Structure 1
Amino acid sequence: MSGWFLLGAPWDSSGSRRGEERAPGALRAAGLAGRVAVDLGDAATVIGGETRDPATGVRALPDTLAATRALAEALAHGMRAHPELRPLVVGGDCSLLLGVFAHLRRAHGDVGLWLVDGHPDYVDAQASDTGETADMEFAALTGAGPAVLAGRQVVVADDEVLPGRQGRSDEIAETAPMVASRHAALIGHRTTDLDAGAVAELARVPRDVLTIDARAVVDDPGAAGRRAAAWAAGLGVPMWLHVDVDVLDPSALPAVTYPQAGGPDLDDLADLLAPLAAAPGLIGVSVADFRPDLDPDGRHANRLVALLDQALWT
């Protein structure tokens, strides 16, 4: 447990403050801060706008870019200040991956991603019902989203100077994609009983992404985790592990915005994550999409902290 630092990302891409942004505080209250060596507090990632950008279809685009910049800078600071520790970034929603990879791409070059999620998060921005970046962050990371999210220039701090650049950019990363699709795995997504929009979203996922669907996870979570770990070992790049807790079946965790039946339970998820957490190439973990407002007595926050105990630190 002493090998980690904690960084909160209270980020709700809907701009409605419906609940995800409260998750870092709720998980701290459930004991998460006591499981790590250092708690760095929260990055300034609160989203306050709900208007969709007419050019891109992205909701709250200016706040999203500012949040991306803030999280990238906070993560960079944490990793510089504590090089002996790995980051545990707690959201908020899956949009936090934009900030995480804005830093990782600059600092580490090629980095792979295990995306454990009930959804592919590959919605086309203009076709999205909501415009929330949590619907499309995987597409943006792999270069298929709007250019301003997919990355053309590096987000830099005010006091950083890069060759040929001055000041800040409104865009996210130096090169697109931030994650090569061949270095990405999508794990736990649903592939049955989908509506037409979900079918179209799944069809957009690049074919060279490793996919391990929810049925495979439920049937043998340990084998699914070992398969994803072995695949990553062959890539030869550092890996980031992201867990969207809506990968869980609603019977195990109903406190999410977009629940879907057919997912693993908490023990299954712990078994899936254990080989990934033990992988020598793992450089950090993020957790997203928990809704404390749907957990009035805190029981689900406690269960998520216990899950991290079981999966990451045992």
Structure 2
Amino acid sequence: MTGRVHVIGAATSAGAHGPGQELAPAAFRRYGLLAGLAESGLEVVDHGDVVTATMRPDPGHSGVADVDRVIEAARTVSRSVQEVLEADPTGRVLVLGGDCTIQLGVIAGAKAVQGDSVALAYIDLDCDLTSPANGNGIADWMGVTHLLDAPDAYRPLSGIDGRPPLLTADRLRLIAADRATPYEQRRLDELGLIRYTSEQVSASTTDVAAELGAWADGVDLLSVHVDVDVLDQTAFLIAEEQRDVPGLSLATLDRLVSALMAHPAARVLTITEVNPSRPPDPAAAFGALNDLVIAALAR
């Protein structure tokens, strides 16, 4: 593994319930992420924003709002990830989102290069297992449903690479996933998904990271997804979803992500659900989040 990091901006909120997340990649750059990565000794290649899309209302949708633009964004991210991984087999990729649906593109692009030997550590307070048949139409909350091509998935979205599922249940771990509707809990049980609660992660970060590392030993590429609403926003407000509920502390998330990205198979880190309008002090909030990303990639 080289010290080269390819940065891909996925400036889209097409799959979200409101605009704002499309502004995150520019904010990461404005508040010094790329400079910080370079100062840590990494070679940074910025590929710019490969997609730009702002959420727009779609009251007439039939299960997934604005699904054509969600699919287009995911496919664009997929092509970009594939091109980077093919061109630089020893570099790593940092994808700056954007809403959670970009992870579909990340996995599709990774599989185009590595085949089925791809796994995903999905750090998110939500399970994202709602569906077109049981949800509010927001694709952002259906990401895992479509990664797994679960029952009720919208096939054009789950099959963006032409051969769903993008992942099987054994190649996915849900981390700090506390929130599950009754429908999602049934789906968790049906699919046999393994998840860790935020309490488990907070109490035993090292042990959880070690278990995840042993699981990742069996694949050629590990992708790590961080939805920042996993953070305790009473202490660190930066996520699109503002919730007065417990989550992970920034320090715990820092340790977890650094441990996962230290794994030899860890090639892709994706950051999603950041809304630059949320923090009362954006410079301080992005500075702290940038430090987490830099630590994870520079270690």
* TM-score, length basis structure 1: 0.84
* Bigger mean CA offset, 246-255 vs 177-186: 246-255
- 1:186 and 2:170 equivalent? no
- 1:39 and 2:40 equivalent? no
| Contact 1:183-1:209 at 8 Å conserved across structures | no
Which SS does the other structure have where 1:33 is aligned? helix
| Contact 1:7-1:90 at 8 Å conserved across structures | yes
| Contact 1:52-1:58 at 8 Å conserved across structures | no
Q: Counterpart in 2 of 1:305? A: 290
Q: State the Cα distance separating 1:225 from its structure 2 match.
A: 1.4
- 1:286 and 2:270 equivalent? yes
- Equivalent of residue 128 in structure 1, options 126, 132, 135: 135
Amino acid at match of 2:72: A
Q: Counterpart in 2 of 1:238? A: 221
* Bigger mean CA offset, 31-40 vs 182-191: 31-40
| Contact 1:47-1:60 at 8 Å conserved across structures | no
Distance 1:120 1:107 in 2: 27
Q: Counterpart in 2 of 1:118? A: 125
Q: State the Cα distance separating 1:69 from its structure 2 match.
A: 1.9
- 1:101 and 2:85 equivalent? no
Q: Counterpart in 2 of 1:176? A: 164
- 1:67 and 2:65 equivalent? no
Amino acid at match of 1:11: T
Amino acid at match of 1:72: S
Distance 1:276 1:40 in 2: 24
Q: Counterpart in 1 of 2:236? A: 253
Which SS does the other structure have where 2:121 is aligned? strand
Amino acid at match of 1:241: V
Deviating 4+ runs (over 6 angstroms): none
Q: State the Cα distance separating 1:54 from its structure 2 match.
A: 4.4
| Contact 2:19-2:54 at 8 Å conserved across structures | no
Which SS does the other structure have where 2:51 is aligned? coil
Amino acid at match of 1:92: G
Which SS does the other structure have where 1:294 is aligned? coil
Which SS does the other structure have where 1:10 is aligned? strand
Which SS does the other structure have where 2:235 is aligned? coil
Q: State the Cα distance separating 1:17 from its structure 2 match.
A: 5.6
Alpha-carbon deviations, 1:71-127, whole Å to 9, x = none?
122222323343331110010111111211222222221111100111001102232
Amino acid at match of 1:211: R
Distance 1:4 1:47 in 2: 27
What is the 5 A alignment of 1:48-63? 49-51=56-58, 54-55=61-62, 57-63=63-69
What is the 5 A alignment of 1:72-87? 72-87=78-93
Q: Counterpart in 1 of 2:158? A: 150
Q: Counterpart in 1 of 2:40? A: none
Q: State the Cα distance separating 1:14 from its structure 2 match.
A: 4.7
| Contact 1:215-1:262 at 8 Å conserved across structures | no
| Contact 1:223-1:272 at 8 Å conserved across structures | no
Which SS does the other structure have where 1:37 is aligned? strand
Which SS does the other structure have where 1:70 is aligned? helix
Alpha-carbon deviations, 1:116-140, whole Å to 9, x = none?
11100110223212x1211001110
Q: Counterpart in 2 of 1:262? A: 246
Amino acid at match of 1:65: I
Alpha-carbon deviations, 1:230-261, whole Å to 9, x = none?
2222x334211111111111123222222442
Which SS does the other structure have where 2:12 is aligned? coil
Distance 1:14 1:280 in 2: 32
Q: List gaps (5 residues or longer) in structure 1.
A: 152-171
Alpha-carbon deviations, 1:36-80, whole Å to 9, x = none?
52111011241454215644x001011112112221222223233
Q: Counterpart in 1 of 2:22? A: 21
| Contact 1:184-1:209 at 8 Å conserved across structures | yes
Q: List gaps (5 residues or longer) in structure 2.
A: 38-42
Distance 2:17 2:241 in 1: 15
